[in-house]
Homo-oligomer: A and B are copies of this chain.
Amino acid sequence: MSKDRILMAHGSGGLMSQRLIEGLFKEHWHNEYLDQMLDGAVLNVPAGRIAMSTDSFVITPIFFPGGDIGKLAVCGTVNDLLACGAKPMYLTVGMIIEEGLDMEELRRIVASMAETARQAGVSIVSGDTKVVEKGSADKIFINTTGIGHVAEGVDYRPARMQEGDTVIVTGFVGDHGLSVLAQREGLRFSTLALSDCAALVEIAEIAASYGDRVRCMRDPTRGGLATVLNELAGQAGRSIVVREQDIPVSPVVQGACDMLGMDPLYMANEGKFVIVVDESAAESLLDKIQGTPTGQNARIIGSVSQAGRANVRIVTPLGAERILGMLEGEHLPRIC
């Protein structure tokens, strides 16, 4: 018997689409909003500001150690909302599926999204599914767009960074990048390279408790830590100085990078924040972050320098200083 697979008609907008929605999506994701079945969802949101963020996920392979494209799609947008200072509330899901996708793989992805959304405290409220012919996409692409409420007074614009502020990274860098690379290339290391893919709700809540002493947060995904630091420096119009030996890198990532000639500072993360915080609050914030399951390996990695030059400088263990640029070219395609 042939396996149950996605057919073009599942994207027709007709009967087969309806069956997919009723039999799969609503089964796993159901909530009062999704169940409205309008052309969209009508949502209750508190008065005030709303953060909105979108991300499309095209990762290959779609299952990897530590996650899958569905978990990644929920975590990615949740983390972006958190980095805007929002409490994530609602997600939409837009899927583009290649004809012939194994229905069981889709089911695992949908279930993974449901579980991740539940843990992160968000509801999937509306969706859309398109199917394209075999060869016109690669298995499945998922867009998630989310909105969240931004509490009064919260302002995480990088322009708020001040001279002397402390820069924290909430854990080992490069884990997601190595996990996907290893899975794709069939590399084996002494330790399994697990993606850090996670929704960082708890860490964001801790940061929020520090009020305006937390200046800004950003999640260092595709371009890695180095690229995000450059974005922050550019947007703040300030230098950031980091110390190479203080940047946390796991032994497996460090070993693989040494072997393969890669730099963990440009490798993707999917469960990390860079947090810029007032120096006076840094140690206390770090301590609390280290008490969370996803923040155990958090470190203070550097500080914000004077306004003027908007660059990132890295100090080597021997005390030499060099410019740490943004990612140039393409490190590892389709990492998220």
Give the B-binding residues of A (Cβ under 8 A): 7-9, 11-18, 36-45, 47-58, 79-81, 83-86, 90, 92-96, 125-128, 130-133, 135-138, 141, 143, 145-147, 150, 156-157, 218-219, 221-223, 227, 231, 235, 266, 325-331, 333-334, 336
Contact = CB atoms under 8 A, between A and B. Distances in A.
A136 to B, nearest CB: 4
B150 A42 contact: yes
Q: How many copies of this chain does one complex carry?
A: 2
Contacts of A13: 221-223, 227, 327
Contacts of A150: 42
B331 A12 contact: yes
A43 B15 CA distance: 37
Contacts of A43: 49-52
Contacts of A42: 49-51, 84-86, 150
Contact of A128 (B55, B135, B136, B137): B55
A328 B15 CA distance: 5
A9 B145 contact: no
A39 B12 contact: no
Contact of A125 (B12, B52, B85): B52
What secondary structure prevails in chain A residues at the interface with B? mixed
Q: Which of A13, A130, A146, A150: most chain B Cβ within 10 A?
A: A13
A264 to B, nearest CB: 15
A130 B41 CA distance: 26
12 contacts: A12-B223, A14-B329, A37-B235, A39-B218, A40-B52, A42-B50, A44-B49, A52-B145, A56-B128, A96-B141, A137-B141, A147-B147
A53 B40 contact: yes
A145 B54 contact: yes
B52 A41 contact: yes
A54 B143 contact: yes
A43 B49 CA distance: 5
In order of increasing CB-CB distance, the 8 nearest A-B pairs are A13-B222, A40-B53, A14-B327, A145-B145, A54-B92, A47-B47, A13-B223, A39-B80
A18 B328 CA distance: 10
